[in-house]
Amino acid sequence: MKLRNILLISVIFTLCADSIQARPRLLRHRAVSTADEGGDNSTAQGVALIQAARCRLGHCGGFAGFEGVGRGNTSDEAVSNCCYWGKRVPAEIGVAVGSDGKFYACVRYQ
């Protein structure tokens, strides 16, 4: 797969617990592109990039805490499909879109 043809939508947020609990839908994602699969699993964005490059959901290690992964037709849908969404406080969010047009998300929780 030619990764340079993948459009990646991404964002990483580190927010305080009060603001994210009060307004979880105000998260914004911005578009970027990359020619790298994003093999770095040390961040939520890195995991989202790996999933998008593979067009497959999955945990990629690199985090000892609670992590959820999700897929959807929009970035918000992908994030809301992540495990623990609405039950735990997000610390980091990464979203990328794969060549299949689906959005892949990874949320790491506090």
Q: Are strands 7-10 and 30-33 parallel, antiparallel or unpaired?
A: antiparallel
Look up the pTM and report it: 0.67
Q: What is the pLDDT along the chain (110 residues), one digit of tens a residue?
A: 443 333 332 332 332 233 334 334 434 444 344 434 547 889 999 999 999 999 999 888 888 899 999 999 999 999 999 999 999 999 999 999 999 999 999 999 99
CA 94 to CA 105: how far, in whole Å?
A: 6
Domain count, the chain: 1
Looking at residue 21, its pLDDT comes to 41
User: Residue 58's domain spans which residues?
Assistant: 3-109
Model pLDDT, residue 62: 81
Q: Bridge partners of 108?
A: 67, 92
pLDDT of residue 61: 81
